[in-house]
Copies of this chain bind each other. A is one copy, B any other.
Amino acid sequence: MIEDKNQARTSLSELGEFGLINHLTQNFNIQHKSTIKGVGDDAAVIEMTDKQILVTTDMLIEGVHFDLSYMPLKHLGYKAVMVNLSDVYAMNGNATQIAVSIAVSNRFSLEAMEELYEGIHLACKGYNIDLIGGDTTSSTTGLLISITAIGEIKKEDVVYRNSAKPTDLLVVSGDLGAAYLGLQVLEREKQVFQVNPDSQPDLTNYSYLIERQLKPEARKDIVKLLKDLEVKPTSMIDISDGLSSEILHICTQSKVGCNLYEDKIPLDPQVISTCEEFNLNSTTIALSGGEDYELLFTISQEDFLKIKANPHLSIIGHITDESEGVNLVTRANQQIKLTAQGWNALQKE
């Protein structure tokens, strides 16, 4: 959290827009045969023979989606890519390219931009993604990243949100709520630091939570796992806004109901202990926390045996008729109507 005030600082205007783009993108290599032309022309050129193309876009804004006092720029770059790739994987697709647009105010130096792009580069390398273009401009305040991700998928493999069927099982990858709690821990440490800049926080007990907030991973591995298991989900979505919001998306679009079982929601031990410490209800956090970037999907009952013992997947409920509504079945076996209290991008904090 301690800022090095003596770091090298090259002004961005020394390079100009095109110089900057060239400098920042010079280490990015093109990996995909489908990338015919990347950075450097009016538009990128892509060729996807016999495949459908997935396109998704997400924007991260300083002061709204991230706070640079505890989000290192390298992590921010990495996370901004993950947020977008996650949407491609949620279609059951293979993410292949990204275009990155960045707006920066003059308080950011070249060195800061290099750090940001280091994170983007790491994400591209780790997930086999080609950087194919973007836009770099100045902003009046703060930093803003808008990424468009492109993916490829065979027509018959696409999984939408609107095709869940009654009796399908509801499945989620990984565990939930950790990213939100990581944010709470970081916010608390920020306040401690403001009061006492010499404090040395011991964050060992929160390491998983903080990693989930600062360095989330998009679940490319789950898409592969499902392929290996020969399971094609009947519907799928990624968890960016919180479990309840995403379940409601699937149910509304599929015109079905759902029973979600509270005791089946996967929680990391750090989530449970930190919820106790913060006096929060862990189910509420899992339902409404958001930023988990796990995959939520439905499968046909007949695929049950294929996924049942898998440590990466939890069966958390089942799809019902629309008339039965969308419910949480609590540990006390009470049925509560599920409402979306996920993070609303337009709500005032």
A residues contacting B by CB (< 8 A) are 12-13, 15-17, 20, 36-37, 40-48, 52-59, 61-65, 86-88, 90-91, 93, 97, 99, 101, 103, 106, 132-142, 144, 146, 148-151, 153, 155, 158, 160-162, 236-238, 253, 344-348
Contact = CB atoms under 8 A, between A and B. Distances in A.
A136 B37 CA distance: 29
Contact of A148 (B15, B55, B106, B344): B55
A158 B158 CA distance: 29
A291 to B, nearest CB: 14
Contacts of A153: 45
A55 B57 CA distance: 12
B64 A137 contact: yes
Nearest to A249: B18
B103 A57 contact: no
A61 B137 contact: yes
Contacts of A132: 55
A48 B53 contact: yes
A237 B137 contact: no
A153 B345 CA distance: 36
Contacts of A346: 12-13, 15-17, 20, 136-138
B56 A87 contact: no
Nearest to A155: B47
Nearest to A344: B16
Across the A-B interface, the 7 shortest Cβ-Cβ residue pairs: A43-B56, A42-B90, A146-B146, A63-B140, A137-B345, A43-B54, A42-B87
Nearest to A37: B160
A298 to B, nearest CB: 14
A16 to B, nearest CB: 5
Instruction: Point out which of A63, A132, A236, A346 has the most chain B C-beta atoms below 10 A from its C-beta.
Output: A346
Contact of A42 (B46, B97, B134, B161): B161
A201 to B, nearest CB: 27
Contacts of A103: 59, 61, 64, 144
11 contacts: A13-B346, A17-B345, A20-B346, A43-B54, A45-B91, A45-B153, A46-B52, A57-B134, A61-B140, A61-B144, A146-B146
Contacts of A138: 61, 64, 345-347
Given A61-B103, A64-B138, A133 B56 contact: yes
B62 A43 contact: no
A304 to B, nearest CB: 25
A191 B13 CA distance: 28
